[in-house]
A and B are shown apart, each in its own frame.
Chain A
Amino acid sequence: MRVARPPALLPGCLHPCATISLMGVVLTLKGVEKAYGLNGQRVEAVCGIDLEVAAGEFLAIMGPSGCGKSTLLHLMGGMDRPDRGEIWLDELPLHRLPEEQLIRVRRRSIGFVFQFFYLLPTMTVQENVELPLLLAGIQDGGPRVRRLLERVGLAHRLDAFPTTLSGGEMQRAALARALVQRPRLVIADEPTGNLDSENGRRVLALLQSLAEEHGSAVIMATHSNEAAVVASRVLHMKDGLLSP
Chain B
Amino acid sequence: MKWILLFHRYILRDLWSKPVRTLLTISGVALGMSVVWAVHLSNQRSIGSFTESLELINGQADFQIRGNGLALPEDLLEELSWLWQEGELSAVIEGRIKLPNRLSVPAYGIDLLADAPFRRYVAGDGREILEHLTEADFLGLLSQPNQLLLPEGLARQLGVGSGDRIEVLIGDRQVPFQVGAVVRQTGAAEAFGGNLVFLDIASAQVAFERLGRLDRIDVLLGEGANPEMVRRRLEEQLPETVALWRPQDLTAQSRRMLRAFRFNLGALSYLALIVGVILVYNTLNIAVVRRQSEIAALRTLGAGRWSIAGMFLVEAMGLGLAGAVVGLLLGGVLAQGAELLVGRTVETLYTGIDLVPLERPADWQFAAFVLLLGTVLGGVSGSYPAWRATARAPVEVLREGFLLIPRRKDYRWQTALGSALLPLAALLSLASPVAGLPLGGYLAALLLMASFALLAPLMARLILSVMARWQSRASVEARLALQSVRGGLSRLVVAMVSLMIAVAMLVGVASMVGSFRQTVQTWLDQTLVADLYARAAAAGSNDWTNPMSSQSVQKLASAPGVEAVGRFRGRQISFGGLPVTLAGGEFEVLARYGRLLFYDGRSTPEVAAALIGSRKVIVSEPLALRQQVAAGDRIWLPTPRGSLDFQVEAVYYDYSSDRGVIVMDYGTYQRLFDDPTASSLSIYLRSGQDPETVRQELLARLEGAQIQITANRQLRRQALRIFDQTFQVTYALEVIAILVAVLGITNTLGALILERQGEVALLRFLGADRRQLRRMALFESGLTGLLGIVAGIALGLLLALLLIYVINRQSFGWTLQPELPLLTLAGACSLVFLSTLVAGFYPAVLAATTDPIRSLRAE
Contact = CB atoms under 8 A, between A and B. Distances in A.
A210 to B, nearest CB: 17
B9 interface: yes
A120 B302 contact: no
Interface string B390-431: 000111001101100000000000000000000000000000
A32 to B, nearest CB: 15
Interface centre among B296, B297, B301, B304 (most CB of A within 10 A): B301
Interface residues of A, number: 35
Contacts, number: 83
Contacts of A105: 302
A115 B402 CA distance: 10
A77 to B, nearest CB: 7
Contacts of A112: 297, 300-301
B469 interface: no
Given A80-B395, A114-B297, A163-B858, A122 B17 contact: yes
A195 B133 CA distance: 96
Interface in A59-115: 70-71, 74, 77, 79-80, 99-100, 103-108, 112, 114-115
Given A116-B401, A118-B294, A177 B9 contact: no
A80 B396 CA distance: 10
B76 interface: no
Interface in A110-154: 112, 114-116, 118-123, 127, 131-132, 134-137, 139
Interface centre among B297, B305, B399 (most CB of A within 10 A): B297
Size class of the B contact interface (CB-based, 8 Å): 20 to 34
B302 A135 contact: yes
B609 interface: no
A31 B398 CA distance: 25
Interface string B278-298: 000000000000000110111
Interface string B289-328: 0000110111111111100000000000000000000000
A108 B10 CA distance: 21
Given A70-B398, A134-B5, A137-B2, A120 B10 contact: yes
Contacts of A71: 395
B302 A99 contact: no
B80 to A, nearest CB: 78
A41 to B, nearest CB: 16
B2 A122 contact: no
Interface string A176-189: 01000000000001
B9 A114 contact: no
B301 A177 contact: yes
A206 B450 CA distance: 56
A74 B395 contact: yes
A162 B197 CA distance: 74
A121 B398 contact: no
Contacts of A107: 301-302
Interface in A2-36: none
A118 B297 contact: yes
A163 B9 CA distance: 15
Nearest to A134: B2
Interface in B257-293: 293
Interface string B185-200: 0000000000000000
Interface centre among A100, A114, A135 (most CB of B within 10 A): A135
Contacts of A115: 401
Contact of A80 (B298, B393, B402): B393
B9 A118 contact: no
A100 B301 CA distance: 13
Nearest to B399: A70
A103 B298 CA distance: 11
Contacts of B645: none
B655 to A, nearest CB: 59
Contacts of B1: 139
A116 B402 contact: yes
Contacts of B5: 134
Nearest to A174: B297
Contacts of A135: 2, 6, 301-303
B301 to A, nearest CB: 5
B588 to A, nearest CB: 83
A88 to B, nearest CB: 19
Contacts of A163: 857-858
Given A80-B393, A80-B395, A120 B298 contact: yes
Contacts of B402: 116
B690 interface: no
Interface in B519-575: none
Contacts of A136: 302
Interface centre among A71, A134, A136, A189 (most CB of B within 10 A): A134
Nearest to B2: A134
A163 B298 CA distance: 17
A131 B9 CA distance: 10
B132 interface: no
A59 B10 CA distance: 33
Contacts of B301: 106-107, 112, 131-132, 135, 177
Interface string A151-165: 000000000000100
Contacts of A127: 9
A82 to B, nearest CB: 12
Contacts of B2: 134-135, 137, 139
B240 interface: no
Contacts of B249: none
Interface string B760-798: 000000000000000000000000000000000000000
B687 to A, nearest CB: 84
A189 B5 CA distance: 29
B14 interface: yes
B13 interface: yes
Contact of B300 (A99, A106, A119): A106
In the A-B complex, list the 9 residue pairs whose CB atoms are closest, starting with the nearest. A107-B302, A118-B297, A122-B13, A106-B302, A112-B300, A74-B395, A103-B304, A123-B9, A122-B14
Interface of B: 1-2, 5-6, 9-10, 13-14, 17, 293-294, 296-305, 393-395, 398-399, 401-402, 857-858
Given A135-B302, A163-B858, 5 more contacts: A70-B398, A112-B297, A114-B398, A120-B9, A134-B2
